[in-house]
Structure 1
Amino acid sequence: MVSPTSPRQRWLLLVTVSAGLLLITLDNSILYTALPTLTEEIGASPSQGLWIINAYPLVMAGLLLGAGTLGDRVGHQRMFLVGLVIFAAASLVAAFAPAPEVLIAARAVLAVGAASMMPATLALIRIAFTIERERNVAIAVWGSVALIGSALGPIVGGALLEHFWWGSVFLVNVPVAVIALLVVLKVAPHNDPDPSKTWDLLSSVQVMVAMVGLVFALKEVTKPGPSWPVVAAALVAAALGAITFTRRQSRLDHPLLDFSIFRNRAFAAGVLAAAFAMFAVGGIQLVTSQRYQLVEGLSPLEAGALVAAVAVGALPTGLLGGAFLHVVGLRTLIGGGLTVSTVGVVVTVTSFQSGLGWMIAGLALTGMGLGAAMSVASTAIVGNVPPRRAGMASSLEEVSYEFGSLTAVAILGSLLTAIYTSTITLPPGALAEAGDSLSGALSTSASDPGILEAAFTAFDHGYSVVMVVVAAVLATGAALTTALLWRYGPGSASSSYDSDH
């Protein structure tokens, strides 16, 4: 593929694909603040509410590996454009969905469009930016947009709900998608398909079975009163999907995933860093936006603004990370960034009852660390595979993003509920609904201070435990990536391959 020769074209392309990426990542988190309003107005059950959130990352994670290889086959420009059209159409359906089932289905179709676009965004950047230092900055911007888009989702959702109905959180996608489509047609490199690449649908199905089985198992085991036969069946399905996928890849001439690329330690560290970072972002946003709406009584906009402190912290370190990567090295930015974010979560969980000032400081510090790590995780991934595996590497990075967010919602959302229901001590005469969820306590016992105090105490206990889990996961990620990147210190090369080779 021929890259744009004009610097203006290259940077305009970066802005455009970043806009598409922003839509994708916003839709992953925009419902965190909108969910209480949405479920009430559309009549969704708590279980349907979780599926409205999880249908999107689950389907996207299952399709991403195949989408990257399909992009290599049909051309990344075409994949991006087709994805934009699907994304815009599904957003229209979601905005006017008459029932929870329709909304869940629309979210799944949104994921199809997102899975088509997401690998293409990074592949187009790699193709267009052939100068390594320019490419590092461009990829850092891309990584920062991924993190900031996810972090801004709650505040965008809250702001829209202040003035419009719940469907506006989906309708806002349409004009952005249309503008991005028109600009890409003008500035993107010419589409350069490679018909020799094959797309294997069965492999994508096997990945989806493994993902769905694992998510069902995680959700079931962390909820109150888990059904162990269901857990066992889900784990068996996940194992069968994973085993058959692995065996099939070893027999294919053009596999969706070549496991040999994990032998590169920088590549493996980049994949892990992306997953750990998005687990933290997804978990923090989910439980913090809920706590400050339900316990503190903040509006969706106010709760969204609070968790946006993560984005504020991430922006400067995210932009500077790529610019100084050649000086400080991958180990400092990824391992050190995850360490700083661990400290930020510890500050948050130890001070959230001491006032908003400390809470905001902890969230901003968390964002600073995550921004540094995310800004160069993409470089570690796409710069350490052969150019012919660019689509595969891009897809695998997106899978790690979605898997991090998906497992955060599945595990931490269920864990919060489990701790609430198992630790709440209700006064005599309280309705059973108050013991099922904080929303139930607020709707049935809003005028009973004794019940509300018990409910708030139980919820805060669950919030503390969830945040401790997030800190432990980040600390584990910091240790693993530092070990993998031990030879990638200051002044070391971050990439094993040049994009023009």
Structure 2
Amino acid sequence: MTSTTPSPSVGATPDTPHRPVRAGARQWAALGALTLAVTLLAVDGTVLALAMPALTADLGATSTEVLWIGDAYSFALAGLLISMGTLADRIGRRRLLLIGVAGFGSASLVAAFAPTAGWLIAARVLLGVAGATLMPSTLSIVRNVFTDPAQRTRAIAVWSAGASGGAALGPLVGGVLLEHYWWGSVFVINLPIMLLVLISVALLVPESRNPAAARFDLVSAVLSVAAIVPLVWAVKHTAKSGIDPAGLLAAALSVGAALVFVRRQRTLRTPLVDVTLFARPAFTGTILVSLITIFAFSGLLFFFSQYLQLVRGHSPLEAGLRELPATLASIAVVVVAVRIIARLGVGRALAASLLVAAAGLGVLAITEGASGYAGLAAGLILVGLGIGMAFTASTDAILSAVPRERAGAASAISEMSYELGVALGIALLGTLHMALYRAGLPDLSGLAVPAREAVTDSLAAGTQALAGTGEQGAQVLAAARDAFAHGMQITSVIAAVLLVVAALIAWKVIPSGRRS
């Protein structure tokens, strides 16, 4: 539904001439191609939630495989963002962008026709790798193409709206496709769009690179992946299986790799990550707030589309349309975001927006257990307004917390924290929701063993297994839907509390000096 704005990567340089040049039609057309690429990435991050019930039934995916299908993309993306950013500066941002576009299209084709859940998980990893090559290039190119400060501000605003709006449109796009086609259509749609982006970038976007880029440090790149991916896996594994040697070993590997990575960055002349940025309280506070916000929001969102279909009984298209209020609200807030930030200051604006989103989640927690749609719509509008405003304010806060020449490094760290928050949110809140669902199930001893296992595994599998099983099956299915809704309510409350905590951190740590 929503996504933060992807950011430029470490080492990205504006390459701005001494005298700004006004952009013409060619530059604005190039912006359209870049925005389309980021929009598609954002759509791909959220469109899959609606397809989960259908692909679960078709591929026979277990609940664990469903979680991996959801967050494998973010794992790969988060682990490789920093490395790919440095590579873009070295080999050329346009060149890496073209490679990423081609790779994203190819991986989409593999995902669309995946014969098993394992194949789909592998394809999602490849999509994450390709996405990591795309994200570092787009905004850096925008900064290079638009050298006039006023035009650059407008260009970045358009680019940001495309990114956040694309993520918000994901459920609606998925609903339209799934209403008429099979679940793989949510990946097939990537192919013509990526072909258009490939041609447009090749014709319109100039090449740019950092002429002083250092040698690509492969050791640091490996350490950055080793510090992120095992940590996320350890959290997922522990949340599902409890504390055991495998989870502890993965966590220890992550911590060890992180320590070695930080030590190495302090000794390099041109590090992958400028760790001194974390000495700035405003920067560190904003990164923490962004991580908590995405963690709270993404874990809930992953199951909300399933709730609309499996509990409320809506078709994929109907579910996508019912999520539209959040989409429209998150896009509309861009119109007033600048005025609100100027009036309240960045820190207070960010805190207020998170409180609005928390209120929206509170409304959802109440209405998810009731009938009717009006309450859900009101909650979604509040969530959309709050999250849309929060993304704008947090991006402003991150760029304001560091000198302009270090904005690239700051934005890359921000994007990495976002992807990490998505993965952790799906892993932890998703696993918590499944635990609550299973705890709320009725006595299943009267069911056949396959049906009992299906209901316990997930509501999607249980719905398929209990279809046409008579009155007993209908009663069990109704109780399972109640358990799923109750789990959503508790998860929504927890997510709302996390947003309140993030709001308090923003209020206390992030400066709120007013701007003209």
TM-score for the superposition, normalised by structure 2? 0.88
Measure, in 1, the Cα distance between the counterparts of 2:401 and 2:508: 17
* Shift, 1:390, TM fit: 4.3
Distance 1:334 1:7, change over 3 A: farther
- What is the aligned counterpart of 2:230 among 213, 216, 224? 213
The answer to whether 1:178 aligns with 2:195 is yes
Deviates more, 1:288-297 or 1:423-432: 423-432
Which residue pairs with 1:466 in the alignment? 491
Which residue pairs with 2:309 in the alignment? 293
- What is the aligned counterpart of 2:70 among 40, 46, 53? 53
Distance 1:90 1:428, change over 3 A: closer
Unaligned runs of at least 5 residues, structure 2: 1-14
Distance 1:439 1:248, change over 3 A: same
* Shift, 1:146, TM fit: 2.8
Letter in 2 for 1:60: L
* Shift, 1:7, TM fit: 4.2
Distance 1:209 1:307, change over 3 A: farther
* Shift, 1:333, TM fit: 2.9
Q: How does 1:214-293 map to 2 (within 5 A)?
A: 214-223=231-240, 226-293=242-309
* Shift, 1:156, TM fit: 1.5
Which residue pairs with 1:341 in the alignment? 357
Q: How does 1:55-74 map to 2 (within 5 A)?
A: 55-74=72-91
Which residue pairs with 1:304 in the alignment? 320
Distance 1:440 1:53, change over 3 A: closer
Measure, in 1, the Cα distance between the counterparts of 2:509 and 2:128: 32
Measure, in 1, the Cα distance between the counterparts of 2:150 and 2:292: 26
Q: Give yes or no for contact 2:22–2:148 (8 Å, CA) kept in 1.
A: no
**Deviations for 1:459-490, whole angstroms, at most 9, x for unmatched residues?**
122111111121112111111122222x3232
The answer to whether 1:444 aligns with 2:461 is no
Q: Give yes or no for contact 1:341–1:474 (8 Å, CA) kept in 2.
A: yes
Aligned residues: 490
Deviates more, 1:417-426 or 1:278-287: 278-287
Which residue pairs with 2:384 in the alignment? 367
Letter in 2 for 1:442: T
Aligned-pair identity in percent equals: 37
* Shift, 1:133, TM fit: 4.5
Q: Give yes or no for contact 2:23–2:145 (8 Å, CA) kept in 1.
A: no
* Shift, 1:270, TM fit: 4.1
* Shift, 1:69, TM fit: 1.8
Distance 1:237 1:413, change over 3 A: same
**Deviations for 1:338-359, whole angstroms, at most 9, x for unmatched residues?**
1211111111112231421111
Distance 1:412 1:318, change over 3 A: same
Measure, in 2, the Cα distance between the counterparts of 1:180 and 1:323: 33
Which residue pairs with 1:32 in the alignment? 49
Distance 1:383 1:124, change over 3 A: farther
Letter in 1 for 2:287: V
The answer to whether 1:408 aligns with 2:425 is yes
Distance 1:469 1:9, change over 3 A: farther
- What is the aligned counterpart of 2:394 among 366, 377, 388? 377
* Shift, 1:221, TM fit: 3.0
Letter in 2 for 1:420: Y
Measure, in 1, the Cα distance between the counterparts of 2:61 and 2:124: 14
Distance 1:276 1:13, change over 3 A: farther
Which residue pairs with 1:499 in the alignment? none
* Shift, 1:17, TM fit: 1.4
Which residue pairs with 1:197 in the alignment? 214
Distance 1:480 1:488, change over 3 A: same
**Deviations for 1:229-281, whole angstroms, at most 9, x for unmatched residues?**
33322322221222222222122221111111233444334434443443344
Letter in 1 for 2:358: T
Letter in 2 for 1:87: F
The answer to whether 1:490 aligns with 2:514 is yes
Deviates more, 1:21-30 or 1:9-18: 9-18
Deviates more, 1:382-391 or 1:162-171: 382-391
Q: Secondary structure at the match of 2:300?
A: helix
Measure, in 2, the Cα distance between the counterparts of 1:467 and 1:263: 33
- What is the aligned counterpart of 1:457 among 482, 487, 499? 482
Measure, in 2, the Cα distance between the counterparts of 1:266 and 1:39: 43
Measure, in 1, the Cα distance between the counterparts of 2:39 and 2:206: 21
Which residue pairs with 2:11 in the alignment? none
* Shift, 1:113, TM fit: 1.4
The answer to whether 1:6 aligns with 2:28 is no
Distance 1:83 1:240, change over 3 A: same
* Shift, 1:126, TM fit: 2.7
- What is the aligned counterpart of 2:345 among 290, 305, 329? 329
- What is the aligned counterpart of 2:160 among 143, 168, 172? 143
The answer to whether 1:424 aligns with 2:448 is no
Runs of 4+ in 1 over 6 A off after TM superposition: none
Which residue pairs with 2:171 in the alignment? 154
Measure, in 1, the Cα distance between the counterparts of 2:498 and 2:414: 19
Letter in 2 for 1:315: I
Measure, in 1, the Cα distance between the counterparts of 2:26 and 2:397: 25
Distance 1:427 1:113, change over 3 A: closer
Which residue pairs with 1:495 in the alignment? none
Which residue pairs with 1:167 in the alignment? 184
Measure, in 2, the Cα distance between the counterparts of 1:394 and 1:461: 38
Which residue pairs with 2:4 in the alignment? none
Unaligned runs of at least 5 residues, structure 1: 493-501
Distance 1:100 1:443, change over 3 A: closer
Measure, in 2, the Cα distance between the counterparts of 1:105 and 1:119: 22
Q: Give yes or no for contact 2:333–2:388 (8 Å, CA) kept in 1.
A: yes
* Shift, 1:10, TM fit: 4.0
Measure, in 1, the Cα distance between the counterparts of 2:396 and 2:139: 10
Measure, in 2, the Cα distance between the counterparts of 1:198 and 1:386: 24
**Deviations for 1:84-136, whole angstroms, at most 9, x for unmatched residues?**
12111221222223333332222212112111111222222233344445444
Measure, in 2, the Cα distance between the counterparts of 1:95 and 1:340: 37
**Deviations for 1:412-438, whole angstroms, at most 9, x for unmatched residues?**
111111111123232651343233432
**Deviations for 1:207-226, whole angstroms, at most 9, x for unmatched residues?**
22232222222223333x53
